[in-house]
Amino acid sequence: MEATGWAVRARGLRKSYGGVEAVSGVDLEIPPGEVFALLGPNGAGKTTTVEILEGYRRRDGGEVSVLGTDPQRADRAWRARIGIVLQLASDAPELTVAEMIGHFATFYPRPRRPAEVIDLVGLGDKARSRIATLSGGQQRRLDVALGLIGSPELLFLDEPTTGFDPAARRAFWEVIRMLSSSGVTVLLTTHYLDEAAALADRVAVISDGDIVAEGAPADLGGQLTAEALVSWQDGEGRQSQRTAEPTAVVARLAARYGGEVPGLTVTRPSLEDFYLELIGGRP
């Protein structure tokens, strides 16, 4: 498949298990340097889709190109160009953080410096600590470091900040922004909608094996053009009006009340509102 200019390109991607179609004709196009978030409920097909793109699962139909190569026919040189965040930290509890990352660095032709990666994921003060002594969140950061050590052109992140505290999550977001600004393409799956909104250039929602919406987080599902809800307080209680022209409504209310409108709020549907509508409220 001709994929010039795309880090990831898929056409008509299909995969079934025992007669159940998990992925049914997915199309994706991700340019280099983009942070792309794939959202969906459990069982929607996002893990199967990502595993096909990573080369870990064979597809039943469709065409796929990742960094210009079909993952089903990829060699070791191609694998060295991608980074995958797996749950590997707990496999070697007796090693220190530095030993684990230094060992993985030997697998790649052009690795990043281990000390640099350790600092990037916020484990600088744990470099000499044994993995068995790390908290769950710290082990997850180590998993992320193992995905970064090979200097990947394309990084797959599956729920990367699960177990992170709020400060660690935001520090990790800065790592992702830095990687993207340096030209690394990131494909992110997450259950945190605020994470997708903060990081992703584009978001796709997959449900029942199909992409049901795609776009920038700010306008996914038509958020930018959706009607706003203007609410205020008057002598009869709380009043509300849905409108496509909230500024005009607020101006009329301001004139009515002589300036300040009591209890005024203006809200539009959030990314979460549209996401839940798209997936039918499934977890």
Give 85-123 as a 3 state SS string: CCCCHHHCCCCEHHHHHHHHHCCCCCCCCHHHHHHHCCC
pLDDT at 165: 78
pLDDT confidence bin for 261, thresholds 50/70/90 = very high
pLDDT tens for residues 15-27?
A: 999 888 999 999 9
Q: Residue 233: which H helix or E strand, with range?
A: strand 228-234
Q: Is the pLDDT confidence value at 101 over 80?
A: yes
pLDDT tens for residues 150-187?
A: 999 999 998 877 767 788 788 888 888 888 888 899 99
Q: Is the pLDDT confidence value at 62 over 80?
A: yes
pLDDT at 54: 95
Q: What is the dihedral of CA 126, 127, 130, 135, to 10 degrees?
A: 30
| CB within 8 Å of 223: residues ≥ 6 apart | 268, 269, 270, 271, 274
Query: Rounded to 5 degrees, what angle do the CA atoms 234, 238, 244 make?
Result: 100
pLDDT confidence bin for 225, thresholds 50/70/90 = low
Query: How many CA within 13 A on the CB side of residue 85?
Result: 24
Give the range among 34-38, 61-65, 264-268 with minimum mean pLDDT: 264-268
Domain residue spans in the chain? 8-221, 227-267
Please provide the CATH number assigned to the domain covering 8-221.
3.40.50.300
Q: Is the pLDDT confidence value at 217 over 90?
A: no
Give the range among 8-17, 38-47, 55-64, 160-169 with minimum mean pLDDT: 160-169
pLDDT at 203: 92
